[in-house]
Amino acid sequence: MEHISFKANWKKTEKTANLLGQCYAYINSMLNIPIRPDYSDRLHIVSMNKGALATTAIEGNSLTEEDLAQIRSGRDLEPSRKYQQQEVENVLAAFNIIFNELDKEKKPEIVSPELIRRFNNMVGENIGEAFGGNPGQFRRNNVVVGVVYRPPSFEQVEEYVQKLCEWLAREFHYKQGQNFDEAVLEAIVSHVYIEWIHPFGDGNGRTGRLLEFYILMRAGVPGIASHILSNHYSNTRTMYYRQLRLASETGDLSAFVLYAIEGFRDGLENIIAGIHEEQTELTWSSYVRDKIGDMQKEGKNQKTLRRLRLLIYSMPMEISLRIEDIMYLNAEIADEYWNLNPITLRRDLALLVEKKLLKGEKGKYRANYELLHSLLPGASVPLKKHF
């Protein structure tokens, strides 16, 4: 592509609009579900780690979650992989800096050449010769990307980056009260334009995806979800490069936008499912605690109550187990019942079935999670779809 045009070269189809509506609904739901602080912190760490590994993996970094756990424990990787460790640590540090600036300090910025250069400096810092350029500095040579794509000459880079920032401000109305759809489109489009302009000697992909992360977080997408697009691109790497190539050849971003938003929707759906699972477990634990409390009021002794708690909290919700399997389900249960009459375990299980905490069928038992469905608010008439 000899010249890059700064105009809305994409179509917002009905499918794209529906996907954006689903994304908005998922994020709105996410923002309105109370999450325990410890679980929220865990989600934040996991999402940031996955995002850092994903965005660097696209560029060939082979670090795994196990490697990252080793680094976090204070043990560096072997010297030959030190630069890969630095790449991932740079992105993680950038994520957390952005998170603090936007979520804690509430200091959002409009996209500018200075911001883009700052992000490239973040991803390239302290990597040394393994980083093929000067971090934060526009390239001073012409390059070929892939086999045939020639980005603008280095003399044009500064001009193109300035034009990009001015166009993003006009097209996506950040200063005028940007809506959700505009923010998601700006994030995706700005990432692609960084790839097209290729303003730096190295780290352009990571810089574009970091800018994407920034714009999503700036729009109010929670940190636990702002990494999703990098994960999507990494998990579908062949399609990612194919869509980038197609967009470069045609100048039409419609297919790339649709591909990205579909991945964003799927990632949000997975996070919501995980949050709901956590909420279900918390509700179940609370319900069990109340039922055990009722049994205490009925006069059950503390030893019996301890055994009942141990049993119900250990039982799986999807697998039915025989009594002999339950006896050795874990070391605590085995220790608890080892010296007791075998009838005791049967009696405890029968009591939990009576209290509807367990389901007992054909000599097998499992946690009665279906009971939670009765706690859901019911509708008097079937709810119709809004589209």
Low-confidence ranges of the chain (pLDDT < 70): 1-3, 373-387
Q: CB neighbours (10 Å) of residue 313?
A: 14
Pair 359, 212 in one domain: no
Residue 4 maps to a domain: no
pLDDT of residue 281: 82
Pair 317, 208 in one domain: no
Pair 195, 113 in one domain: yes
pLDDT of residue 266: 97
Pair 166, 259 in one domain: yes
Range of the structural domain that residue 340 is part of:
300-375
Residue 171 maps to a domain: yes
- In angstroms, rounded to a whole number, what is the distance separating the alpha carbons of residues 64 and 118? 27
pLDDT of residue 379: 40
Pair 52, 160 in one domain: yes
Pair 117, 216 in one domain: yes
Residue 290 maps to a domain: no
Q: Which residues pair with 365 in a beta bridge?
A: 321, 360
Report the number of distinct structural domains present in the chain.
Answer: 2
Residue 386 maps to a domain: no
Pair 53, 163 in one domain: yes
Helices and strands (H and E) in the chain: how many = 15, 3
Task: Give Cα separations from 274 to 35, 113, 236, 267 (angstroms).
Answer: 11, 38, 22, 11
Pair 217, 174 in one domain: yes
Residue 7 maps to a domain: no
| Boundary of a domain, candidates 256, 274, 292 | 274
Pair 21, 157 in one domain: yes
| Boundary of a domain, candidates 259, 274, 289 | 274
pTM, rounded to two decimals: 0.82
Residue 359 maps to a domain: yes
Residue 294 maps to a domain: no
Pair 190, 255 in one domain: yes
Q: Residues of 25-59 as b/e, b for ≥16 C-beta within 10 angstroms? A: ebbeebeeeebeeeebeebbeebbbbbbbbbbbbe
Pair 222, 330 in one domain: no
- In angstroms, rounded to a whole number, what is the distance separating the alpha carbons of residues 314 and 186? 47
- In angstroms, rounded to a whole number, what is the distance separating the alpha carbons of residues 43 and 273? 13
pLDDT in tens, 215-257: 999 999 998 898 899 999 999 999 999 999 999 888 999 999 9
Residue 385 maps to a domain: no
Pair 91, 148 in one domain: yes
Question: What's the CATH code of the domain at 361?
Answer: 1.10.10.10
Helix (H) or strand (E) holding 358: strand 358-361
Question: What's the CATH code of the domain at 218?
Answer: 1.10.3290.10
